[in-house]
Amino acid sequence: SDLQKQEERGELLLPLIFVLLVLCSVLLYFKVSLMDPGFVKPEEEVKEGEDKGQGVVIPQIPGDIKLRRCGYCLVKQPMRAKHCQLCQHCVRRYDHHCPWLENCVGERNHPLFIVYLSVQLVVLLWGGHVAWSGLYFEQSREWLQHNIFLLVSFLLIFIFTIVVLLLLVSHLYLISCNTTTWEFMSHHRISYLRHSELENPFDQGIILNLWRFFC
């Protein structure tokens, strides 16, 4: 049969990989949106210098900056934590609250968020290629009527691809500098950055920043 011939020629492998990538993207979406992003628990009374992975960089921050209690949930905030009013929790290494995920992006789910964006970008690029390959341009009204769905699909995929690409590139840049979206946007409002002699006291070089984040 035609199906067996296509299987023998390996033509069914690419559609299968595409479906698996879409499935992987959906699973990553639910994983990132439903998991704990790094909520600070009331029983986790963090002492100064106790934060994991911060021992190298804390001495570079002025000693008069002490950990403070959150005015909303009254927990002692670790360094780089911030209270999210939408989630009603303080989040460790807070990056931002993602409205698409309906969850914060923080210490625990930030690496998975990057993986999700990467897989989503591959799916969108692949889908855009499929939509574009199905278009055969002709200057006629009948052509537009028969190809309007493919044309709209390609335009939507193109827009989403640009958004995801910009998000991924910006996040990778911030990760390589060992800073967060919140710290980058609100540098002048954050006490441990505003009073620091260094512009970014957490930066330890691109390679070490990436290693600490992903590994």
Average pLDDT over residues 34-45: 84
CA distances for 95 relative to 55, 88, 100, angstroms: 20, 15, 14
Q: Provide the pLDDT confidence category of residue 150 given band limits of 50, 70 and 90.
A: confident
Return the C-alpha torsion angle 168, 89, 208, 161, nearest 10: 0
- What angle separates helix 206-214 from helix 110-133, to the nearest 10 degrees? 90
pLDDT > 70 fraction of the chain, expressed in percent and rounded: 79
Average pLDDT over residues 120-127: 95
Burial per residue of 30-58, b for 16 or more beta-carbon CB atoms within 10 angstroms, e otherwise: eebbeeebbbbeeeeebeeeebeebeebb
pLDDT confidence of residue 39:
94
Whether 103 and 109 have beta carbons less than 8 Å apart is answered as yes
Residue 98 known to be catalytic? yes
Structural domain spans, the chain: 2-37+97-214
The three-point CA angle 84-89-94 to 5° equals 55
Looking at 24, 70, 87, 98, which residue is catalytic? Answer: 98
pTM of the model: 0.82
Q: Provide the pLDDT confidence category of residue 138 given band limits of 50, 70 and 90.
A: low
Rounded distance, CA 36 to CA 87, Å? 11
* 182 vs 148 pLDDT, higher one: 182
Q: Provide the pLDDT confidence category of residue 49 given band limits of 50, 70 and 90.
A: very low
Long-range contacts of 43-47 (CB under 8 A, 24+ apart): 44/75, 45/75, 45/76, 46/76, 46/77, 46/78
Greatest CA separation for the chain: 77
